[in-house]
């Protein structure tokens, strides 16, 4: 992308959220720059805000919405090695750089080169007879109907665990704060590298989450059981698997798959999780804080 020049901006927008003010500012800025706007197709899209277009040939991808919208934009942009500017049309998330009222300044900074790359890894998913898949947040292999799925997990050629349950989720460090955390898995702190593999509702046994190194290879054999199974990438259904046909998946980490625009002001990850109530102190600690805050100050002797 050449500094100070935009010919085309590709948009990925939230399927239903109100975007009127943000779009008005974006259109005005693009018109002043002589840049055209196109909209990329995305799952579940229900509103059209610009002529349909392809990511190839764009100078920048802008996501208008939240983290889910930004994930969709990152997946599209990674194919042609473009950066993504995430605009929060609502509250700030983990991937959005600025709020909607800062669009003008944010675009001007990106156009002038006043930004830095935030490189995001992906889980690369290989299976025989199918194209490789990539997940920026997580890969979920989950039963599609009644009954249990059977899962065998191996790491670097060594069996880790066999389990019966709902399935398994494999996440990047970024994705460790999403489905993985909700399923009881660990959160990887900023700067950590590797994958997290978390069983989903295992039926008995000792099946702890597994944290791997960045160079590890994970092999997952999934028997979908009588009800079949789904493959989900970053919260979207990618494929379905027929009943009773085991499939082998091989997972590895690709360190720099997608590029997010950082303007140097993004909120630290842990602070953002606490602000959004995803990380919450225990009730006993909060009760003590409340009690201490309401206690009358002792007079000095």
- Report yes or no: 123 and 130 within 8 Å, Cβ to Cβ: no
Measured in whole angstroms, the distance separating CA 267 from the mean position of its chain's CA atoms is 16
Catalytic, 67? Answer yes
Strand 158-165, strand 149-155: pairing: antiparallel
List 67, 138, 166, 234, catalytic entry: 67
Instruction: Give the DSSP letter of residue 52.
Output: B
- For the chain, the farthest-separated pair of C-alpha atoms sits apart, in whole angstroms, at 81
Query: Which H helix or E strand runs over 270?
Result: helix 269-275
Distance from C-alpha of 220 to C-alpha of 151, rounded to nearest angstrom: 7
- Report yes or no: 127 and 247 within 8 Å, Cβ to Cβ: yes
H helix intervals, 112-262: 179-182
- At 73, give phi and psi (nearest 5°): -65, -40
- Report yes or no: 148 and 225 within 8 Å, Cβ to Cβ: yes
- At 9, give phi and psi (nearest 5°): -115, 125
Distance from C-alpha of 8 to C-alpha of 298, rounded to nearest angstrom: 65
- Report yes or no: 55 and 77 within 8 Å, Cβ to Cβ: yes
Give the count of beta carbons closer than 10 Å to the beta carbon of residue 50: 18
The residues carrying an active-site annotation are 67
């Amino acid at each position: 992308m050449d500094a100070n020049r935009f010919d085309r901006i590709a948009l990925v927008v939230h399927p239903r959220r109100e975007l009127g003010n943000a779009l008005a500012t974006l259109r005005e800025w693009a018109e002043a720059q002589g840049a055209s706007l196109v909209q990329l197709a995305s799952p579940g899209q229900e509103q059209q805000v610009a002529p349909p277009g392809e990511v190839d040939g764009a100078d920048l991808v802008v996501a208008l919405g939240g983290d889910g919208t930004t994930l969709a934009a990152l997946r599209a942009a990674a194919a042609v090695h473009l950066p993504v500017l995430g605009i929060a049309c609502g509250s700030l998330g983990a991937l959005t750089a600025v709020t909607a009222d800062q669009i003008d300044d944010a675009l001007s900074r990106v156009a002038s080169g006043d930004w830095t790359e935030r490189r995001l890894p992906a889980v690369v998913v290989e299976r025989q007879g199918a194209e490789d898949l990539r997940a920026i947040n997580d890969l979920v292999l989950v039963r599609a109907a009644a009954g249990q799925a059977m899962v065998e997990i191996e790491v670097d050629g060594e069996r880790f665990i066999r389990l019966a349950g709902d399935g398994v989720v494999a996440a990047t460090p970024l994705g460790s704060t999403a489905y993985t955390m909700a399923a009881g898995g660990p959160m990887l702190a900023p700067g950590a590298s590797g994958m997290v593999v978390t069983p989903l509702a295992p039926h008995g046994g000792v099946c702890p989450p597994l944290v791997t190194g960045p160079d590890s290879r994970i092999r997952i054999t999934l028997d979908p059981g009588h009800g079949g199974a789904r493959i989900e990438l970053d919260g979207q259904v990618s494929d379905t698997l027929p009943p009773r046909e085991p499939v082998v998946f091989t997972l590895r980490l690709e360190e720099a798959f997608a590029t997010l625009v950082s303007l140097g002001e993004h909120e630290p990850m842990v602070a953002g999780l606490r602000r959004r109530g995803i990380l919450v102190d225990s009730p006993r600690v909060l009760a003590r804080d409340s009690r201490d805050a309401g206690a009358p100050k002792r007079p000095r002797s």
